[in-house]
Amino acid sequence: MTLFTCVLGGMAFGFTARVGQLAIQKRNIYDNLAGHAASTALFGYAGYWAYKWDQRAAVLLAEKRAQIAERREARAAAAAES
C-alpha cells in the first residue's frame, strides 16, 4: 500500500468514527467541526505511522530471511563436507 492510501484510509476512518460518535449521542453531525478535524488528523497520523511500521517490518523480515538462508547454506556446506 502507498503512503497516500494509508493516510487517506486513516482519515476516512477517523471522520467516520466521529460521525458515528455524534450519531450515537443523537447530536447534529455539523456540531463542532473542530472535533471532526481533530479526529481526522489524529487517525490520519495513525495511518502514516502504520505505513512506516509496515515498511520497517518488511525490511526486518527481509534481513531475517537473508540470515536464515545464510545459515541453511552454511549447514548444507558443513553437511556436504562431512
Would you put residue 28 in left (φ > 0), alpha (ψ -120 to 50) or beta?
Answer: beta
Q: What is the pTM of this model?
A: 0.76
DSSP for 21-35, written as a single string:
HHHHTT--TTS-HHH
**pLDDT tens for each residue of 30-40:** 888 999 999 99
- pLDDT above 90 covers a percentage of the chain that reads 85
Which residue do the cell numbers 468514527 mark?
17
**What is the tally of structural domains in the chain?**
1
Range of the domain at 48: 3-81
Indicate the residue type of 75: R
Distance in angstroms (rounded) separating the CA atoms of residues 67 and 60: 11
